[in-house]
A and B are shown apart, each in its own frame.
Chain A
Amino acid sequence: MTPAIILDSVTKRFGQTTAVDALSLQVPQGAIYGFIGPNGSGKTTTLRMIMNILLADSGWVEVLGDRSTVAARDRVGYLPEERGLYKQMPVRRLLTYYGELKGARRADVEREADWWLTRLGLPNVADKKVQALSKGMSQKVQFIAAVVARPDLVILDEPFSGLDPVNRDVLRDAVLELKRRGTTIVFSTHDMSMAELMCDRIFMIFKGRKVLDGSLDEIQSTYGHDEVHVRVQGGAAVLRSMAGVDAVVDHGNAQQVRLSIDPQAFLAQLAARATVQRFEITRPSLHDIFVEIARPAPEDDILPSA
């Protein structure tokens, strides 16, 4: 099956700044693909190039099997990071307008819009003007606008930011509903736990370059070091004397150990030396990996907001 999106050595510069640097990536069809990365690292620029809003300076972009992304545009839905709705338009009119701009028939769009409005718990807003909606409501309307033309690929830039937990769940279920329909979903987020839970594959961009790309499992096993939480008689002194120990963080009653050897082999050696009261292998969370990669040098000011 051809990937839904292929980026091949895509570079985009703005004046002297290189926003995206020789980026290659493939998004499989039907997957939920998470884009993470600190603010200003090139996420939105990449999404805009996929949307053909911006053109790459070099490299090429293929969307839904189409090198000319203009042709694919009608099959792609887009939810921009900052919400773009006409304040004066009634909700249903707005949704049909956005749907028609994708080339869908008005009757189809209206049916789809009503279905989603009901699905997302907004049955009575169809005739209200956008400016009368609360923030959560308008965010849901914005989501519907992105999917109302039944696109094959949906690109969501920060879909969950600023939502309360209830609305966040509603929107998460909506995204999963799209996945069930076979839609490919790319979303960018600063919410690492959301990305861990929802994404089939995760991609991280940092300073315009790809730093992570793969399933959560792959990322955790290739990037992160396994860490072991240990409680052992003799404490940190015993652990430091062991072979294969890179670092020990002493918490007093327990220690956190980073290993350069297989944890199982280490456990065997440790058990031979002292009484082991607790031994727990933990995998690094996406949050930890993110922070580790994007940790700002002291003079930097690009704190990730996750």
Chain B
Amino acid sequence: MSRVITIAVAEFEQAVRSRAFLLGLLAVPLLMALAFGIQALTARRDTSERHFAIVDRTGTIAPQIVEAARQHNAEQTSTTGRKTGPSFLPEIVSGEGQAAEATRLALSERVRGGELFAFVEIPAEVLTATGADAPRLGYYTEYPTYQALPEWVRQEVSRAVADRRLSKLGADPTEARRLLEPVPMDRRSLVVRTTDGKVSEAEKVDAVRAFAMPAITMFMLFGLVMSSAPQLLNSVIEEKTSRISEVLLGSVSAFHLMLGKLLGSVGVTLLLGLIYIGGGLLAAAQADYFGLIQWSLIPWFALFLIIAVFLYGAMFIAIGAACSEVKDAQGMMMPALILAMFPIFLWLQVAQNPDSAMSVGFSLFPFATPYLMLLRIAIPPGPPAWQVVLSLVGAVATTLAMVYAAGRVLRVGLLMQGKTANYRDMLRWITAK
């Protein structure tokens, strides 16, 4: 056993000193920033000026849009005069005395020339026709992915049209708008009877707690596993190609070698995890989210982290042992990577409906358990205890089987040179006497 520790310590030291560790240190926060930050950041940073033309065939709506744009632009400028959002700068174009096609062509040329960003065509019938054959607004642009302007135009034109229609019915548009205001709603958790006999105040549930915390927890686990498990593949291939494995096998058994490597990896990921969680707590304290942290999640996180590193680590070690060169590993890795990554693509469905048959089923699938069960535990009220126990039994059993199989593959694979084995060879090595 002491040899296993010796190997683990050496692996840990090597990993922590390597450049890959520094990258790993940055990878998870970077991924998080990408996943959560980018949209908010770019949306806020969009301070562009969008010139566009309005061809108003009703002849009455356009001035209201221009006025709405003026208000919008004023709102997008802070008191200090700094812009916080995009400005919309409409220009009314009269299409009278010209064929519709000619107007569109002329405006298209102006968009292509860069003079305009887009143009909007409001058909004359919008004020009267409704239902299935209601006319549609036309929004013409070279940039179909830009959403802010068309969204805003649709909203403002709809509002203007609604005002006209209400006026026609004899209602006051301002009054009508006030009457149609949606009713706000608070989402709250349940109440309990407290020790002094009173009924507790139900806490407000906000989006951060409902989605961000479980998601952050799961993605952090994913990032940690992916920053360490595939590294084991490289380390085994390096030892194999430089014939270090031969020296090592002259001192310890293949199985102990693998256990040492896995333990070293667990050490590295736990250290990284500690750094991330520490950083996360600091950030949460700064942002006043300290109350949102579910402390009970931390032991679960550690447990699933250890299981995942052993499970995926053993898998990548076995693949490394079967390969003779790093480039051979690319093809062999695909199935393993898919197994390691597919749960991530299910996260939103599971988060929105953690008790559905699909969520339960996938979180009980051993290769998805570390991510999805952790996610479900992080979402109140959490899964029933039997599901947690069942998933743990399945995941631990699968991990043990994987570690055993990887040990067998390693024993044969480490001394194989030249030829890269395929999955069938590996299966033969595992089942051989």
Name A residues whose Cβ lies closer than 8 Å to a Cβ of B: 48, 51-54, 70, 73-74, 76, 78, 80-89, 93, 97-98, 100-103, 145
Name B residues whose Cβ lies closer than 8 Å to a Cβ of A: 2-3, 6-7, 10, 13-14, 17-18, 238-239, 242-253, 415
A121 to chain B, nearest CB (A): 23
Contact of A100 among B6, B14, B17, B246 (CB under 8 A): B6
Q: B14 near A86 (CB under 8 angstroms)?
A: yes
Query: Can you list 23 A-B contacts with CB-CB less than 8 angstroms, sorted by A residue number?
Result: A48-B246, A53-B249, A70-B253, A73-B250, A76-B250, A78-B250, A80-B246, A80-B250, A81-B243, A83-B242, A84-B245, A84-B247, A85-B242, A85-B244, A86-B14, A86-B238, A86-B242, A89-B14, A100-B6, A101-B3, A101-B252, A102-B251, A103-B3
Residues of chain A within 8 A (CB-CB) of B248 are 84, 101
A39 to chain B, nearest CB (A): 14
A-B contacts, CB under 8 A, total: 64
The complex places the Cα of A145 from the Cα of B13 at a distance, in Å, of 19
The complex places the Cα of A121 from the Cα of B287 at a distance, in Å, of 60
Residues of chain A within 8 A (CB-CB) of B10 are 97
List of 4 A-B pairs having minimum Cβ-Cβ separation, nearest first: A84-B244, A101-B251, A78-B250, A84-B243
Contact of A51 among B13, B14, B250 (CB under 8 A): B250
The chain B residue with its CB closest to the CB of A86 is B244
Q: B6 near A97 (CB under 8 angstroms)?
A: yes
The complex places the Cα of A86 from the Cα of B242 at a distance, in Å, of 8
The complex places the Cα of A81 from the Cα of B243 at a distance, in Å, of 9
Q: A101 near B7 (CB under 8 angstroms)?
A: yes
- B interface: dominant SS: helix
Residues of chain B within 8 A (CB-CB) of A83 are 242-243
Q: B3 near A53 (CB under 8 angstroms)?
A: no
Contact of A88 among B7, B17, B246, B249 (CB under 8 A): B17
The complex places the Cα of A15 from the Cα of B286 at a distance, in Å, of 65
Residues of chain A within 8 A (CB-CB) of B7 are 101
The complex places the Cα of A86 from the Cα of B247 at a distance, in Å, of 11
The chain B residue with its CB closest to the CB of A55 is B411
Residues of chain B within 8 A (CB-CB) of A81 are 243
Residues of chain A within 8 A (CB-CB) of B244 are 84-86
Q: B247 near A98 (CB under 8 angstroms)?
A: yes
The complex places the Cα of A78 from the Cα of B3 at a distance, in Å, of 17
Question: 7 additional contacts, CB 8 Å, given A53-B250, A84-B248, A101-B6?
Answer: A48-B415, A70-B253, A80-B246, A82-B246, A85-B242, A86-B14, A86-B238
Q: B243 near A82 (CB under 8 angstroms)?
A: yes
Q: A80 near B247 (CB under 8 angstroms)?
A: yes
The chain B residue with its CB closest to the CB of A78 is B250
The chain B residue with its CB closest to the CB of A157 is B246
B416 to chain A, nearest CB (A): 10
Residue among B6, B247, B252, B415 with most chain A CB within 10 A = B247
Q: A54 near B415 (CB under 8 angstroms)?
A: yes
The complex places the Cα of A88 from the Cα of B20 at a distance, in Å, of 13
The chain B residue with its CB closest to the CB of A97 is B10
The complex places the Cα of A85 from the Cα of B2 at a distance, in Å, of 22
The chain A residue with its CB closest to the CB of B249 is A53
Q: B251 near A98 (CB under 8 angstroms)?
A: yes
The complex places the Cα of A145 from the Cα of B243 at a distance, in Å, of 14
A12 to chain B, nearest CB (A): 12
The complex places the Cα of A53 from the Cα of B246 at a distance, in Å, of 8
The complex places the Cα of A98 from the Cα of B244 at a distance, in Å, of 10
Residues of chain B within 8 A (CB-CB) of A51 are 249-250
The chain B residue with its CB closest to the CB of A79 is B247
